[in-house]
Chains A and B, each alone.
Chain A
Amino acid sequence: MSYTGRFRVWRGDTDGGALQDFEVEVNEGEVVLDVLHRLQATQTPDLAVRWNCKAGKCGSCSAEIDGRPRLLCMTRMSVFGTDDVVTVTPMRTFPVIRDLVTDVSYNYAKAREVPSFTPPADLAPGEYRMQQIDVERSQEFRKCIECFLCQDTCHVVRDHEENKEAFAGPRFLMRVAELEMHPLDVADRVPAAQEEHGLGRCNITKCCTEVCPEGIKITDNALIPMKERVADRKYDPLVWLGRTISRRR
């Protein structure tokens, strides 16, 4: 079944822009990215949209559809009615470059702030051994495709630009959790999670989990466990006492 779909697409750059109305052919089985490509091919050859794999694995085509952070390539047109007007805008947490393309360099800056995997000093590459049950928690977080939709929806930076300096965002707090839970990582990441990456600013409202296209339970499996580890270290005198006594032995 084909029909003429109605779209409102934000077009502009750092100097300004506006939502523009389009009518585009929509065919059965298509996703929003297909329709945007048809728009490029037939009406707006200069429409800027970032994409790559069209399979929900590269994380390039992040945008907002009807105000919700989503991947353009994983949003089926069948979820809309034929009379609906579909609104597509760039991610609203990051600076816009042009049309649907944003500057996500904030995320790369935050990624560099997380120290990399730190294996024990006496192990050389090739000597790493670990059991599956020890590493499987970290493996869930490795599914991340770095689409940055979680960063986009997180109100800590979305609604408060001033927090970008102090807050790494759910994606990179999850990276800290991934390494902290890794059986062969020996770096102490708990103090930095709170002091340097801003874990205390997260109020666990779970929007990151809601928008994750990989279905990673970011809040329950990464952020809350990290908050509990911080509580162990900073806010639990009993754990502190236990650690101190066991160290003396």
Chain B
Amino acid sequence: MTTSARGVDAPGRAQIDARTLRADRWWLPPAATTAGLLVFLVYGGVRAFQQQYFFADERYLTPFYSPCVSLGCASEPGAAHFGMFLPDHPLIPYAALSLPFLLLFRLTCYYYRKAYYRSFWLSPAACAVPEPHATYTGETRFPLILQNSHRYFFYLAAVIALINTYDAVLAFRHPADGFVVGVGNLVLLVNVVLLWAYTVSCHSCRHVMGGRLTHFSKHPVRYRIWTWVSGLNTRHMFFAWITLGTLILTDLYVMLVARGTIVDLRIIG
């Protein structure tokens, strides 16, 4: 079969010159997805390796640096809650224990897979729009067969969400002033709640909680949890995008307070 006789041009199918007859703006969602993901990757990459302005007001730790386990974290006393043992090197992020796994959690996420298969790999860019690739084996071979490891990154992401929660709770205590509530606390809190929503609404979580069962009636508690997670799961795409936004905003807020560009407004204390 020649290259020109692939797909919708394969022998036997209706002979239509146009590869797609879609006249709507089908290119807009993949273009917007590409732009959104690139913005996050560039921002996250720059911030992860900046190694500055990650701890503010002696209590706000940005999620991009949590847990802060590099020897470099010593520059901000109070930022390291779990010890400092990784070498302080420009190419090793201070949160090297969490960032790679969070990236892999999102990279293997069923929603993000759809997003980047469509937007970056154009496989397909939109429904009924021909993809440009001559052959296709899907997720049957290396490296894409590794997408099946998503559940392990879910487990790790849940642990990291616990650490983020710990950071958010700890941020209510100022070393000198005691219990305080500032705008930064609300920013950290909203971020961590949405991170939990994204993590728990994951398809692997849905499966682990009860999806793998055949007889829900024999497991009423797991059925209840599965039903609840299934409800969240319908908004997984929403949580996937909103958490990219809240991660950037939270980090930006901590960075601006740490730099002294803005002042954290105290509500209590």
Query: Mask for A132-164, Cβ within 8 A of B = 1, else 0?
Result: 011000000000000000001101101111110
Q: Which of B136, B151, B223 has most A Cβ within 10 Å?
A: B136
Contact residues in A for B267 (Cβ distance below 8 Å)? none
| B23:A67 contact, CB within 8 angstroms | yes
Contact residues in B for A17 (Cβ distance below 8 Å)? 14-16
Q: How far is the CA of A47 from the CA of B261 in the complex (A)?
A: 71
Query: Mask for A111-140, Cβ within 8 A of B = 1, else 0?
Result: 000000000000000000001011000000
Tell yes or no: B20 within 8 A of A by CB: yes
Question: Which of A64, A204, A234 is B128 in contact with, Cβ under 8 Å?
Answer: A64
Query: Mask for B135-174, Cβ within 8 A of A = 1, else 0?
Result: 1111110001100111100000000000000000000000
| A206:B13 contact, CB within 8 angstroms | no
| B136:A160 contact, CB within 8 angstroms | yes
B116 to chain A, nearest CB (A): 10
Tell yes or no: A14 within 8 A of B by CB: yes
Contact residues in A for B149 (Cβ distance below 8 Å)? 235
Contact residues in B for A131 (Cβ distance below 8 Å)? 216-217
Contact status of A210 and B127, CB under 8 A, knowing A67-B23, A94-B13, A203-B113: yes
Tell yes or no: A205 within 8 A of B by CB: yes
B96 to chain A, nearest CB (A): 25
Q: How far is the CA of A211 from the CA of B128 in the complex (A)?
A: 10
Q: How far is the CA of A153 from the CA of B123 in the complex (A)?
A: 12
Contact status of A161 and B151, CB under 8 A, knowing A133-B217, A155-B123, A207-B128: no
Interface majority SS (helix, strand, loop, mixed), chain B: loop
Query: Mask for A219-249, Cβ within 8 A of B = 1, else 0?
Result: 0100011011111101110000000000000
Q: How far is the CA of A11 from the CA of B18 in the complex (A)?
A: 15
For residue B12, which residue of chain A has the nearest CB? A95
Tell yes or no: A69 within 8 A of B by CB: yes
| A159:B13 contact, CB within 8 angstroms | no
| B128:A153 contact, CB within 8 angstroms | yes
Query: Mask for A75-103, Cβ within 8 A of B = 1, else 0?
Result: 00000000000010110111110000011
Question: Which of B130, B137, B207 is A225 in contact with, Cβ under 8 Å?
Answer: B207
Contact residues in B for A110 (Cβ distance below 8 Å)? none
Report the contact-size class of chain A (Cβ under 8 Å from the partner): 35 or more
Tell yes or no: A181 within 8 A of B by CB: yes
B110 to chain A, nearest CB (A): 6
| B233:A220 contact, CB within 8 angstroms | yes
Contact status of A67 and B6, CB under 8 A, knowing A12-B15, A94-B13, A153-B128: no
Tell yes or no: B211 within 8 A of A by CB: yes
Tell yes or no: B106 within 8 A of A by CB: no
Contact residues in B for A102 (Cβ distance below 8 Å)? 14
Contact residues in B for A19 (Cβ distance below 8 Å)? 16
Q: List 10 A-B contacts (CB under 8 A).
A: A67-B18, A67-B23, A153-B127, A158-B8, A161-B7, A161-B10, A205-B117, A205-B118, A205-B124, A230-B148
A87-B23, A92-B13 known; 20 new pairs, CB 8 Å cut-off, are: A12-B15, A17-B14, A67-B23, A95-B12, A96-B14, A131-B216, A133-B217, A155-B123, A158-B130, A159-B136, A161-B6, A198-B140, A201-B140, A204-B113, A205-B117, A205-B123, A210-B127, A220-B234, A228-B211, A236-B151
Q: State the 9 A-B residue pairs at the shortest beta-carbon distance, nearest first.
A: A67-B21, A201-B138, A95-B12, A67-B22, A207-B127, A200-B140, A228-B207, A159-B7, A235-B148
